[in-house]
Amino acid sequence: MRSLDLHPIFRNNRDIELALRQFLFACAQSGESVAEIIPGKGSGQLKRRVLAFLDQKHIRKLYARREEDPKNPGRILVHFGDQRLP
């Protein structure tokens, strides 16, 4: 399972979006079944930003579903299923 920790870049919106985009494309291309994004617990602002990014229509096509880890609120799991990039 691949993992992306957003703690080091949490202040820069452009870096966050770029990191998320590159991470999701790499996971989808490599055939990962599940990947984790770690926005951390904190105030929840970064987590909301990540969820909003994942919910964009053009990004949503890259993965099958996403879920917030019920045991760890500072972690988002992205499931790719059998989808592959063309």
Share of the chain above pLDDT 70, in %: 94
| pTM for this model (two decimals) | 0.89
Domain spans of the chain? 2-79
DSSP string covering 29-75, please?
A: HHT-SEEEEE--STTSHHHHHHHHHHTSHHHHTT-SEEEE-SS-TT-
Class of domain 2-79: alpha beta
| Between 78 and 11, residue with greater pLDDT | 78
Residues 21-63: tens digit of each pLDDT: 999 999 999 989 999 999 998 888 999 999 999 999 999 999 9
